[in-house]
Structure 1
Amino acid sequence: MPPSPASRHAVHVEGVGVYRAGRWILKDVDWTVPSGACVAVLGPNGSGKSTLTRVISGYLWPTEGEVEVLGERFGEVNIHELRESLRLVQPTGMAEPDAEMTALDVAITGAFGTVGLYAAIGDDLRAEALRLLEAVGLHAAIRTPYRNLSSGERIRCLMARAMVRKPRLLLLDEPTSGLDLLAREQVLATIESLHAEPDPPTVVLITHHLEELPPAVSHVVVLQDGRVAAQGAPEDVLTSALLSEVYHCPLEVVRSDGRFYSRVSPGAWASLLARSGRP
């Protein structure tokens, strides 16, 4: 059964908790994502960001709570069919594309949900893959083998691949992890451009860093130790006081041109190194 196209919410979780190895990885999470929005899940290591992503994508069943994705309630929907309408992009996925395939062929595989090409390719599909590669700034690399793409180019190629089937929900799990400044900015520009396309998918961006939130982000949920520390519009949530508490670090939040940045004074470094507990 396909997900309901009329749902106002792409994601709705209520009282969600995940208990593993004697502790709560997530607890009492309430969160709603409007359809078509670009939102972010922010928090330090171990805060539960990736766990929440796995729950939303149906790869991890919550211990408690209700989960509704694209208008369908978990427990009442075929998860495999639901995943046809969502895509998860990670720097290192569960299945890597064939290293010898060109960027164009990798993008095309998104139409089949495979890591290789095992079916005939129509002109319309090839044209759409080309259009998306151009949209993410990879037109010059369409014939480049995947193994020869830089880390940033690979992520943008995978984002084009994810969009070929026009998903209604796009989950980006730390897509800028390990990238240099230029590659990071190119990935953020890609998120912004994909969100600006006609009838864009709902985008959920998972990240550690304020600097990795593009201006398109209209809602942020901040996680701390598996619980929601705050959520709402970025300008309301991303405050120096809140994030200093969440990251256990005295920091200052600065906003410029629709983006947010964090600064830590070197004068605070000695006190951070002196702490014997969590950083």
Structure 2
Amino acid sequence: MTGSPVLRLDDVTFRREGNQILHGISLTVRAGEHWALLGPNGAGKSTLLGFCGAVTFPTTGAVHVLGEQMGRVELARLRRSIGHVNPRHPLRYPLTVREVVLTGITATIDLPMRWAPSSDEVRRADAMIETIGLKGKADSTWPTLSQGERGRTLIARALVAEPLLLLFDEPATGLDLAAREQLLHTIDTLGETHPEVASILVTHHLEELPTTTTHALLIADGRTVAAGPAHEVITTDTVTAAFDHSVEVRHDRGRWTARAHANGHPAPY
């Protein structure tokens, strides 16, 4: 066990319009752990992430986030300690990188009216921008950034409020190979710069997992396929079962890859 529990889901279920989306999933994430939430499209990953972010309530079961039980705590206060990195960030105005990062302090999409950051908050934002590899870009505007630069900006935005839990919602969406690798390198460095922060990264591509991934929850059809240490969970057998397709999973130098089997035989690497 790495540290104290940051998140705990106890036998959670979820129903929407009469359809059962999740079937009794349990999960405990501790300080300093970095979880991958894996599964095919429609498996229930986004619904689970909504629980983790104190956004969605389960139909049954209990959700404890940062020691507080959802339903018994002010959610707005709880969310200020949760950083959320979403590549579909719905920004409507041409804010600068610094301004986007500062919205992590106000927990808003745009800068609130009649709000001005303190000099300490500006220094903190600038330091975070440099930490995630965007030195010299603080005054660049959102529309001029590449998709990779936007991804790293959103990581800085999530970190500036000093959260205890980070949620990555398919952060590599829309990135080319180089931008993806730069983003994953940025995520990997968080283990050194923010060792106590726990994280959950949602994806359905094994190639998008950072090397610092410690644990994994693999789900399919709203049910747990496997959960635990990443090297025990992300295997040929479990991934084949979850995606209902014969694949071969390999792990090399901290990264995972998956290739489909051709006619029942492993595809050549």
TM-score by length of 1: 0.88
Tell whether 2:52 aligns with 1:56: yes
Q: Which residue of the partner structure matches residue 105 of structure 1? A: 99
Moved more, 259-268 or 184-193: 259-268
Judging changes above 3 Å, is the alpha-carbon distance between structure 1 residues 172 and 97 closer, same or farther for their aligned structure 2 residues? farther
After TM superposition, give the deviation of residue 19 of structure 1 in Å.
Answer: 0.6
Aligned match for 2:256, one of 248, 260, 267:
260
Q: How does 1:83-162 map onto structure 2 within 5 Å? A: 83-93=79-89, 95-96=90-91, 98=93, 100-114=94-108, 115-116=110-111, 118=113, 119-162=115-158
Where does structure 2 lack aligned partners over 5 or more consecutive residues?
Answer: none
Q: Which residue of the partner structure matches residue 14 of structure 2? A: 18
User: What is the total number of aligned residue pairs between the two structures?
Assistant: 261
After TM superposition, give the deviation of residue 97 of structure 1 in Å.
Answer: 5.4
Tell whether 2:202 aligns with 1:206: yes
TM-score by length of 2: 0.91
Tell whether 2:221 aligns with 1:225: yes
The amino acid of 1:109's aligned partner reads T
Q: Which residue of the partner structure matches residue 32 of structure 1? A: 28
Where does structure 1 lack aligned partners over 5 or more consecutive residues?
Answer: 1-6, 270-279
Q: 2: CA distance between counterparts of 1:123 and 1:268?
A: 62
Q: 2: CA distance between counterparts of 1:117 and 1:77?
A: 24
Moved more, 260-269 or 225-234: 260-269
For residues 190-227 of structure 1, give each alpha carbon's deviation from its aligned partner in whole angstroms, at most 9, with x where no partner exists: 11112321444211111111111112111100011011
Report if aligned partners of 1:195, 1:203 keep a CA contact under 8 Å in 2.
no
Aligned-residue RMSD, C-alpha: 1.8
Judging changes above 3 Å, is the alpha-carbon distance between structure 1 residues 125 and 63 closer, same or farther for their aligned structure 2 residues? same
Q: 2: CA distance between counterparts of 1:171 and 1:36?
A: 13
Tell whether 2:237 aligns with 1:238: no
Q: Which residue of the partner structure matches residue 172 of structure 1? A: 168
The amino acid of 1:96's aligned partner reads L
Q: Which residue of the partner structure matches residue 188 of structure 2? A: 192
Moved over 4 A (4+): 265-269
Judging changes above 3 Å, is the alpha-carbon distance between structure 1 residues 200 and 164 closer, same or farther for their aligned structure 2 residues? same
Q: Which residue of the partner structure matches residue 273 of structure 1? A: none
Q: Name the % identity.
A: 37
The amino acid of 2:193's aligned partner reads E
Matched position secondary structure for 1:61:
coil
Report if aligned partners of 1:135, 1:193 keep a CA contact under 8 Å in 2.
no
Q: 2: CA distance between counterparts of 1:82 and 1:198?
A: 19
After TM superposition, give the deviation of residue 56 of structure 1 in Å.
Answer: 1.8
Q: 2: CA distance between counterparts of 1:210 and 1:157?
A: 23
After TM superposition, give the deviation of residue 64 of structure 1 in Å.
Answer: 0.5
The amino acid of 1:240's aligned partner reads T
After TM superposition, give the deviation of residue 266 of structure 1 in Å.
Answer: 5.1
Report if aligned partners of 1:13, 1:66 keep a CA contact under 8 Å in 2.
yes
